[in-house]
Amino acid sequence: MLSNEVKEKLITIVTKENFDDSKIERLVYSYDATPNYQSMPDAVVSPRNAEEVSEILKICNQYGVPIVPRGSGTNLCAGTCPTEGGVVLLFKHMNKILEIDEENLTITVQPGVITLDLINAIEEKGLFYPPDPSSMKISTIGGNINENSGGLRGLKYGVTRDYVIGLEAVLPNGDIIRTGGKLAKDVAGYDLTRLFVGSEGTLCVITEATLKLIPMPETRKTMLALYQDLSAAARSVSKIIANKIIPTTLEFLDQATLKVVEDYAQIGLPTDVQAVLLIEQDGPPEVVDRDIQKIAEVCKQENAVSIQIAATEEEAMALRTARRAALSAVARLKPTTILEDATVPRSEIANMVKAINEITEKYQLTICTFGHAGDGNLHPTCATDARDHEEMERVEKAFAEIFEKAIELGGTITGEHGVGAMKAPYLEWKLKKEGITAMKGIKQAFDPNNIMNPGKVFAKDSKKRVVITR
């Protein structure tokens, strides 16, 4: 509970209508898209500008009130679940596109802009912003920056981090700072822009961002490669890249995923094959044609049973949209869906797919695997039921083994969803003690009172590593 003093001060800053501590309003900001995490904040506050954010942070810093900045609450690592209560910050008033600069190829936005609205606004001008997380219709750009979101186009174009070139951020002490700018080059001091991107609201509140844009590719083509053998599909992924082709998109969907997605989307996805690769290339028409042809050859050499090329943009769009719905569609099988995003070097993707299948078998679970295979980033998703405690234990063990295997293959515990509260206990596996200490030093420097999204990234206790006997 906030003290009356804090409450009054916050209301003075944002006015009564932008402060809410009713039970229902607190309840609906007690969760995000991560299963099994729910915790009530003490209040929900909607600032209207950076100055108000600064005033709020000063108060919270003084009184030790946790701050949880929240976009649309679509993250998958319990990054915006207020596990320690405090104030949830909403950016519904700070949702303007401030400028599209066609000479410098940049867009400057407030954090509350919906990702897809941003994409639509610049595509009208023939420009391109590649990061396209599956939740882009809902997610905000502020959320994307805090989580360093990826998407289907990451293979060729990178992730959110690669497009953020300037930020305005408010530090816990209330200082408003600016990092970077509309600059192709800038080595003036530490690269705070890159530090803040993906910092999950644990260092500062981002109040404005300048993003790099690129010209829209002339054309694009989309294809499906169908397989009756999982490893063949996975091998094709590494082989396409070894053939020096970098497609825009190189997605993997196994049969279990295909079935649930088709059940939802009803667009005629093949459900009688073991796996499918969804591949897209963009660029000048002659390059796209040549690449698609070469990719098709590689897939056939790896025993793809069929290659289908989307005839129209509508068809291609339907395929992409269906893929984006994969995670939620898994909930058709069982009510709780626990997904991971272990990531390995691309060359290891076939080994990772094999390991996931063995682990699924060992723990007798239903796991649908899909993901950005071209990035080495898979999303094994377990369809389970949170009420079945015995099964939940097996799920946890299975995922611990998947993490362990990913790290063994030179990978990481999370490729794009972030650490949040969910993966915090596993962070040490990847970073080692020394790595955590270095990061904690940074946190301490920015946020000595630990008010910024506490309980995220750094866990109180690390999970013990499992010993795999195989």
Partner 1 sequence: MTTLLEQEKIQQQFKERMNEDELLNCMRCGFCLPTCPTYIESGYKESHSPRGRIAMMKAVVDGIVEPDEDFERSLELCLGCRACEPVCPSGVNYGHLLEEARDIINQNKKHSLPVRAVRKTVFEGLFPHQNRMRTMVGLLGFYQRSGIQTLARKTGYLGLLPKNLATMEKVLPKVPTMKEMKNRPEHLPAIAEKVHKVAFFSGCLMDTMFLKTNDATMKLLQLAGCEIVIPKQQTCCGALHGHSGEKDVAKELAKKNIAAFEDLGADFIITNAGGCGAFLVDYDHLLKDDPIWSERALAFKEKIKDISEILVAVSFHKKVKLELPAQVITYQDSCHLRNVMKTASAPRTLLDSIKGVQYKEMKEADRCCGSAGIYNIVESEMSMVMLDYKMVQAKATHATTIVTANPGCLLQMQLGIEREGLSSKMRAVHIVDLLAEAVK
Q: Which stretch binds partner 1 (CB under 8 A): 157-165, 186-194, 320-328, 427-435?
A: 320-328
CA distances from residue 29 to 40, 57, 60, 102, 470 in whole angstroms, order as listed:
7, 19, 18, 37, 43
Q: Which residues from 63-82 bind partner 1, rule CB under 8 A? A: 72-74
Q: Which of 5, 28, 267, 361 binds partner 1 (CB under 8 A)?
A: 28
Q: Shortest distance, CB of residue 116 to partner 1, whole angstroms?
A: 8
Q: How many residues does the chain have?
A: 470
In the bound state with partner 1, the residue whose beta carbon lies nearer, of 30 and 193, is: 30
Q: Which residues from 136-155 bind partner 1, rule CB under 8 A? A: 137-138
Buried/exposed 172-181: b ≥16 CB within 10 Å, e otherwise: bebebeebbe
Q: What amino acid is encoded at 317 in this protein?
A: M
Q: Which residues from 150-209 bind partner 1, rule CB under 8 A? A: none
Q: Which of 325, 392, 407, 436 binds partner 1 (CB under 8 A)?
A: 325
Report the distance separating Cα 410 and Cα 425, nearest Å.
19
Does residue 335 touch partner 1 according to CB under 8 A?
Answer: yes
Report the distance separating Cα 423 and Cα 419, nearest Å.
5
Residue with tokens 């946890």: 396
Does residue 327 touch partner 1 according to CB under 8 A?
Answer: yes
Q: Which stretch binds partner 1 (CB under 8 A): 49-57, 146-154, 380-388, 462-470?
A: 380-388
Q: Is the Cα dihedral 387, 68, 160, 430 positive or negative?
A: negative
Q: Which residues from 92-131 bind partner 1, rule CB under 8 A? A: 92, 114
Does residue 385 touch partner 1 according to CB under 8 A?
Answer: yes
Report the distance separating Cα 348 and Cα 234, nearest Å.
9
Sheet containing 275-283: give its strands across.
Answer: 306-309, 219-227, 275-283, 249-254, 367-372, 377-384, 336-339
Per-residue x/- marks for partner 1, 211-250, CB under 8 A?
----------------------------------------
Does residue 312 touch partner 1 according to CB under 8 A?
Answer: no
Does residue 432 touch partner 1 according to CB under 8 A?
Answer: no
Q: Shortest distance, CB of residue 268 to partner 1, whole angstroms?
A: 16
Q: Shortest distance, CB of residue 60 to partner 1, whole angstroms?
A: 21
In the bound state with partner 1, the residue whose beta carbon lies nearer, of 173 and 321, is: 321
Q: Which residues from 256-275 bind partner 1, rule CB under 8 A? A: 261, 263-264
Q: Which stretch binds partner 1 (CB under 8 A): 124-132, 294-302, 385-393, 436-444?
A: 385-393
Q: Which stretch binds partner 1 (CB under 8 A): 208-216, 334-342, 445-453, 459-467?
A: 334-342
In the bound state with partner 1, the residue whose beta carbon lies nearer, of 16 and 470, is: 16
Q: Shortest distance, CB of residue 23 to partner 1, whole angstroms?
A: 5
In the bound state with partner 1, the residue whose beta carbon lies nearer, of 335 and 345, is: 335
Strands 67-70 and 87-90: parallel
Q: Which stretch binds partner 1 (CB under 8 A): 133-141, 287-295, 357-365, 371-379?
A: 133-141
Q: Which of 160, 336, 414, 453 binds partner 1 (CB under 8 A)?
A: 336
Q: Shortest distance, CB of residue 2 to partner 1, whole angstroms?
A: 18
> Total number of residues binding partner 1 (CB under 8 A)?
40
Phi, psi of 279 (to 5 degrees): -125, 140
Q: Which residues bind partner 1 (CB under 8 A)?
A: 22-25, 27-35, 38, 40, 72-74, 90, 92, 114, 135, 137-138, 261, 263-264, 325-329, 331-332, 335-337, 385-387
